[in-house]
């Protein structure tokens, strides 16, 4: 299974949303999903898109693509150090979006997995572009 995710926001904070595109291993479209929020940030929507995919498909360990360096770094590296340090960053501040990061971490501890990869955004990738349109509401 292959999943493309994206989050978007008009203003930061402002109205926004996320989009998720789910494909089989041959890149045939299985389904897609989007949600809107009235007052959010880009980073929150990026994390929400990945969390949505993770909670629905994490037992199958899909490959998940995101164009957000923040989200990929948070969920593949930073959160483990933050958890070890009592959810405190190296600058002694609390990480933003912990309400989204902690559930991901808890499910990861239970054995759920995704293969999260960074993809370049707005580079003509068909499925990333669809996830973006879903996130911005321009589908």
**What is the average pLDDT across 109-131?**
90
Give residue-wise pLDDT tens across range 97-112: 999 999 999 999 998 8
Active site residue 25: no
Provide the pLDDT for residue 12. 86
Tell me, yes or no, if 33 is annotated catalytic. Answer: no
Catalytic one of 17, 19, 58, 67: 67
Per-residue pLDDT at 9? 94
CA–CA distance, 124 with 121 (Å, rounded to integer): 8
DSSP string, 7-20: EEESSSSEEEEEEE
**132 belongs to the catalytic site:** yes
pLDDT at 69: 96
Can you give the pTM of this predicted structure? 0.93
Q: How confident is the model at residue 106, as a pLDDT?
A: 94
Catalytic residue selected from 7, 17, 19, 58? 7
pLDDT tens digit string along 44-88? 999 999 999 999 998 888 999 999 999 999 999 999 999 999 999
Set out the domains of the chain in order of their start, with CATH numbers. Answer: 2-136 (3.30.420.10)
User: Percentage of the chain surpassing pLDDT 90?
Assistant: 85
Cβ-count burial 12-41 (b if 16+ within 10 Å, e if not): eeeebbbbbbbbeeeeeeeebbbbebeebb
Q: Using alpha carbons, select from 84, 77, 100, 108 the residue that is nearest to residue 5.
A: 100
pLDDT of residue 101: 97
pLDDT score of 11: 87
Question: Active site includes 6?
Answer: yes
Give catalytic status of residue 122 as yes or no: yes
Catalytic residue among 38, 86, 122, 124: 122
Marked catalytic residue, from 6, 19, 45, 58: 6
Band (pLDDT 50/70/90 cuts) for residue 139 is low
Q: Give me the helices (H) in 1-139, please.
A: 42-57, 69-73, 79-84, 98-109, 126-136
Is-catalytic flag, 7? Answer: yes
Q: Which of these is catalytic: 16, 17, 45, 46?
A: 46
Q: Is the dihedral of CA 73, 76, 80, 81 positive or negative?
A: negative
């Amino acid at each position: 299974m292959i999943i493309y995710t994206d989050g978007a926001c008009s203003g930061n904070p402002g109205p926004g949303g996320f989009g998720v595109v789910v494909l089989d291993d041959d890149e045939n479209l299985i389904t897609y999903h989007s949600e809107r929020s009235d007052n959010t940030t880009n980073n929150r929507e990026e994390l929400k898109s990945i969390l949505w995919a993770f909670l629905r498909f994490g037992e199958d360990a899909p490959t998940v693509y995101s164009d957000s360096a923040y989200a990929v770094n948070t969920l593949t590296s930073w959160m483990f150090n933050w958890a070890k340090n009592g959810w405190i960053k190296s600058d002694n501040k609390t990480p933003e979006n912990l309400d989204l990061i902690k559930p991901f971490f808890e499910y990861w501890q239970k054995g759920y997995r995704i293969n999260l990869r960074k993809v370049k955004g707005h580079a003509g990738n068909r499925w990333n572009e669809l996830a973006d349109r879903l996130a911005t509401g321009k589908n």
